[in-house]
Amino acid sequence: MQKYKDVLKDRYEAARKLKDIIPMHKLKEEDWQIVAISDGGLVIADEIRKNLSNNIDYIFSESIKAPNNSECEVARVSENEEIIIIDELIDSFDIKLDFIYGEAQRKHEEKILSYIYKYRKGKPFLDVCDKIVLLVDEGSETGVRLTTAIKSIFALKPKAIYVAVPLIPTAVLEMIEPYVDDVYFIWDIDDYVETSLYYRRFDDIKEEEIEKILGV
């Protein structure tokens, strides 16, 4: 981890470095749909889109934690109710699927719908059917958020899915590569710890900034 600590100044530098890797001419010419999967990912996505007219949106998701460990994510649900379950953890904690699906429904109703109304004013998610999608995040730790987003976009029948993330664990990269058309990244890290450790500046994203970027 020490080798990569503070390797990025901030999210804006991450975006600039990603733009050197992403085929920006294709992004523009083929009108890729840009989709963030986290608050920080939205800031990076907006910087990537800078001076372009590509559509941008945010696919919301919520973590489902173990009933006896509020720090341990065992599943995640997205706004179109796609769910990723970490089988090893639910087996280890002896968690019933009824609990997962119940929590998924609760998180969707209590959290995700509130995000949709707040940040998208209740409007539906971007139409990505038969279109090229670029999923953007600021980093990936367990890969659960990323795989949930990939599964959710797949369900919407896009033409292609690309992923842009400045930092990604090697294991997560190997896991998602078979399911997407390409992954644009700056560093893949074997002993990935926590995304914030790799940025010198890692501020919380204000609600006003999310609203401004989404422009609804």
Specify whether 49 is located in the same domain as 141: yes
Q: Kindly give the parts of the chain with pLDDT less than 50.
A: none
User: Is the dihedral angle over the CA atoms 106, 112, 115, 117 positive or is it negative?
Assistant: negative
Specify whether 132 is located in the same domain as 104: no
Q: Using the 3D structure, point to which of 105, 120, 135 is the last residue of a domain.
A: 120
The separation between CA 14 and the C-alpha centre of its own chain, rounded to angstroms, equals 15
Report the pLDDT value the prediction gives residue 4, as an integer from 0 to 100. Answer: 83
Taking phi first (over 0 means left), then psi (-120 to 50 degrees means alpha), and beta for anything else, what does residue 200 get? alpha
Specify whether 137 is located in the same domain as 197: yes
Q: What are phi and psi of 153, to 5 degrees?
A: -70, -40
Report the amino acid identity of residue 19. K
Number of domains in the chain: 2
CATH number of domain containing 171: 3.40.50.2020
Specify whether 147 is located in the same domain as 109: no
Report the pLDDT value the prediction gives residue 2, as an integer from 0 to 100. Answer: 62
Q: What is the pTM of this model?
A: 0.95
Q: Using the 3D structure, point to which of 120, 138, 154 is the last residue of a domain.
A: 120
**Residue-range definition of the domain harbouring residue 88:** 62-120
Report the pLDDT value the prediction gives residue 210, as an integer from 0 to 100. Answer: 97
Specify whether 78 is located in the same domain as 14: no
Greatest pairwise CA separation for the chain in angstroms: 50
Give the model confidence (pLDDT) of 95-106 as tens digits.
Answer: 999 999 999 999
Residues 6+ apart with CB under 8 A from 14: 8, 44, 138, 166, 167, 186, 199
H helical segments located in 50-203? 87-92, 97-107, 113-120, 144-154, 170-176
Specify whether 51 is located in the same domain as 147: yes
* Tokens of residue 208, six digits: 């006003």
Report the pLDDT value the prediction gives residue 147, as an integer from 0 to 100. Answer: 98
Specify whether 210 is located in the same domain as 147: yes
Specify whether 144 is located in the same domain as 164: yes
Specify whether 135 is located in the same domain as 41: yes
Specify whether 96 is located in the same domain as 187: no
